[in-house]
Amino acid sequence: MCGICGLYQSDHSVDHASLKAMNHRQRHRGPDDEGYYLSPDHQLGFGFRRLAIIDLSPNGHQPMTNEDGSLWIVFNGEVYNYPELRRELVNAGHEFRSTSDTETVLHGYEEWGVEVVKRLSGMFAFAIWNQNDHTLFMARDRLGIKPLHYYWDEKKFAFASEIKSLLTLRLNTDLDHSAIWDYFTYLYVPTPKTIYKHIRKLPPAHYAIFNGDLKINEYWDIKNWGTSPLSKGDAADAVRDQLFKSTSSHLIADVPVGVLLSGGLDSSAVTAAASSQSPISNLQSFSIGFDIEEHSELKYAQIVADTFHTTHRTRIVSRQDFSSALDQMIDLYDEPFADGSGLPTLAVSRLAAEHVKVVVAGDGGDETLAGYIRYLKWVEMAQRESGALLLRDLIYEKILLKALTPFTGVPKILGLISAGDLDLRGKRGADRYGALIDSVKAFQKPKLLPDLAREFKDYDDYWYVRKFWRDDLDEISAMQYVDIKTYLHDDILTKVDRASMAASLEVRVPLLDHAWVELAASLPAEWRFQKSIFREALIGVLPESILNRSKKGFSAPLLNWQEAQTINGARLGGSALWAWQVYETWRQHRLPKF
């Protein structure tokens, strides 16, 4: 896990001071080592910060080159199948000077070209410079676990793990007003946008080729929704086996590995799998709680820790900690970002980083196994609106009766639709899902942003949902696909990456191994819905008190810590108010008011 950056300039030389400033600004991502590379013509330079996890020797130093010095790489992340790829490359005649996964990626590119990304299993963002043809190749992992931002103004091309690194350069930092408007719909700035017009995010599962022009291509997608021929019993076995296989591969490291344990189903499952692996002895687990009992899950985390005999450590986040959260959110994310669980994620990362360098976590289970409460809301709304209960080829009644009734802990759906969800009625597809997930409603945004209201009078607030909504899928799968292609990487994984790397901690997510994602997607939607198949797979693995408990999201009790306010005539509470406060703090700290 590391921080990477680079700079290419066509009109004048890249200087070492610029690279050093970029590199130092994201020092937290890799406090163990730093490195630089300048091409012979000084048109391109790389910077690198290292958090040493695999091959702790100087041989793992980056930027790294191949045998003849024609290729140079900076790499952030982990490739879990690198031992197998390394053996294949050695058999093909490649010579290795380290035992790092980075060198495997470099030789893989030398052997397979851009197709190397399809061979990698892991989380990554990397850049490779080909000195022979002056081509820069960049790629990001399939699910967007690791970030990669870039800037291009026809003369200067720069990239970095975090926006703050790019902002050390002399760049055009004009705001993207559409990104501000989008932020108040999604509570994050959607990919490929950032808050700045000329800084973009490379989308997950994409690679880019820059040689004076920039070309971006997709290399992976989920295409096998609901196609599995397995019986439900065999599917449960496959899910359990893949959980243990994915977790085992994510434990590869030359330093101790711990686990982030919330007490929910997903993190508990990962803890169970990690504790069963032979390389792990005295597994350390870490949990965060709150000073408001109804929001704290520490008692459930303790049950799991006791069951699997982990060395368990906890910390409480209080309202007093919340008072400094706004400034921390701005420092972490470099642009408006309003996920309220960013604060506890930072707190648990700091706790874990006091004892280990690497942890595994349960992120991804809700997206891959349809665990969010909003999916239940969708189903109930459809029930209320039609007596037929049909969900294309899927029947709501089948979902509810067969997927939910075996598990008493699954939330009841009756009464979930509130007055705030009335705008769902009469909408279909992407419009309904957009209305379901937005926190700041369309009628509120002109009041909050009067200076932008005219510019975005006819704007499609749900363009991001619409971009990925698939009418060829049943609605449960369609919602999952949208979440995986949007919310997962722009919110959940962004939150985890920035918060953990701020503490110099690597977080790995076995439930986002692409083999796991493809397996889950292939199962019938009614088995995925509310993690039905996952619960069946974990019978006998997890305690019943964990297996059957109601879902509780990992978030700070914002509603309890602040009172609703009226902003420019718009009454805001909870996540909407938090979004406004984050935005105002960002604007005051970073830029003059427009």
Which residues are annotated as catalytic? 2
Write the CA distances from 84 to 79, 220, 360, integer angstroms.
Answer: 11, 21, 22
Mind giving me the DSSP string for 356-377?
-SEEE--TTHHHHTT--HHHHH
Q: Which residues contact 569 (CB under 8 A, 6 or more apart)?
A: 447
For residue 515, the SS3 value is helix
The type of residue at 505 is: L
Q: How far apart are CA 312 and CA 59, in angstroms?
A: 34
Q: Which two tokens stand for residue 4?
A: 């990477």
Q: How far apart are CA 297 and CA 307, in angstroms?
A: 16
Q: How far apart are CA 344 and CA 477, in angstroms?
A: 30
Q: How far apart are CA 130 and CA 303, in angstroms?
A: 52
Per-residue b or e along 200-222, where b marks 16 or more CB atoms closer than 10 Å to that residue's CB: bbbbbbbbbbbeeeeeeeeebeb
Does residue 208 contact residue 149 with C-beta atoms inside 8 Å?
A: no
Q: How far apart are CA 286 and CA 56, in angstroms?
A: 25
Q: How many residues does the chain have?
A: 594
For residue 497, the SS3 value is helix
Mind giving me the DSSP string for 104-144?
HHHHHHHHHGGGHHHH--EEEEEEEEETTTTEEEEEE-TT-
Q: Which two tokens stand for residue 450?
A: 């009067």
Which residue's entry shows tokens 């609106």?
385
Q: Which residues contact 540 (CB under 8 A, 6 or more apart)?
A: none
Q: Strands 257-260, 214-218: parallel, antiparallel or unpaired by DSSP?
A: unpaired
Q: How far apart are CA 136 and CA 510, in angstroms?
A: 30
